[in-house]
Each structure stands twice: as structure tokens, then as C-alpha cells.
Structure 1
């Protein structure tokens, strides 16, 4: 998987996109449990999809500067840009790329103004993903 903005080790082989990234993986948090995350319900996903890694890197830099996830999605995403990257509520069995879903379901829910995100490469391009509270 890609590089996250929070500490911990990521399983690089699961995402196929980046090794050596950071990100929390493991025990379910209270926030995750209260949001329905990882308990068979739905999660609200936003993403920024870029065909080229260089464009994704620009988007990651903006997120690192504190720009809202929705604003970065409107500016850099090549998919769902008008909705600030919102894909709506998604279940584990939704017809999305498995790497994408694995990355999303590992994330702790956050807000667009203070996102906790990660990235993954799929056959469709590079995705920066966050899960909304």
C-alpha cells in the first residue's frame, strides 16, 4: 500500500503500490466500531484518482500542506471530482477493486479537514483514499 499520514507499518504487498509506507493496521478502534467500520456495515469513502503517480504526488503534497481532502479531490482527481471525491457509502462486497477495498477498510474514519488517508495503485490508477466519520 501507499504512504499514510499516520504512524505504524503497512503491508506493502496488499496494496501493490508502494512499500515502506506508514499507517495504522490492526486492532479496531472505538471510532471505527462506532462508525460501523469493519463490522459488516458500510463506510463512507472519498478518493482522489490519478492516472499518473506524479499527479498523485502533487495531491499528496497538498494534503500534507493541510488543504481539505475535498478541495484536493476537486483539483486533482480524474474521477468523482465534482463531489469532492465522494463515492458514498460502500459495503465490503461492493464491486470495487479488491486492493482499493482493502486499503479503505483498514483506514480509521476521519474528516475532510483533518483526513487520515492512504494510497494504493490499482489497474485504474493511483488512489488516495480516506474514510469519513
Structure 2
């Protein structure tokens, strides 16, 4: 399970809309849950999509990813995972998303914009185990 603060959820959706026909991407920060405990996303950190075909792919520059993860930790958060959008697609990971996933135990949130915005999440379990769908809840600030 993953909990998104209302602000984090809104940030993801607004960022997705701002991308137009291109996929957007970023980093999720908060408390990383494990052993049945939910991850809690308090903040999002936007990244630039440097993919050659941003209409159908996303890619965070490795140097920017490193800098964002350092910023997450400097702000006192854990890396919860990553997010990106599918402007015309579903909220489940594509074959390319699965092939490029490299952070076992972390969440990959996808915002679909085909119609009403919908946010789904999957936790990457590793190469052989693949993705496991997570329940997404949006919580008010505490």
C-alpha cells in the first residue's frame, strides 16, 4: 500500500497535465514502508524527462536522479520511489517500464490522463518477481 498526501497527489496530476503529450517524471519522498507497512509520500521532486521519445518514454538523467535523491535525504525523507505519466495510456507499467525498473522494493507511480486522471502504483519486486500492484490512498495533511 502507498499513501499520497493530498499535496503530493495534486503535484503529480498537475505535473502530468503540464507535460502535454510528453511523459513527465519525478521522485517520491517520504517514509519508505516495508513488511506490510505502507509507504507514505509527503513530497514530490520533479525531474526533466530526457528520453529521446518523451511522448512514449521517460528517462531521468542519472546525474539529476542522484542530485534529487540527495535532496530527498537532505530534507529528512526516504526515497519512496518514482513517478511518471502515461498521457494516453493506462496506469499499469509498460514492458519498457518493467525492463527499465531498477529499484527493488520501491514504488513506481503512474498517472494516466486518458479521460479523468487516475493514479496507480506498483512496487518493483525485482527482475524475476516483476511488479506488484499497490493500493493507492490519498490522505489529508496531518
TM-score for the superposition, normalised by structure 2: 0.29
Q: Which has the higher contact order (CA 8 A, sep 6+)?
A: 1
Larger Rg: 2
When you count helix as a share of all residues, which structure comes out higher? 1
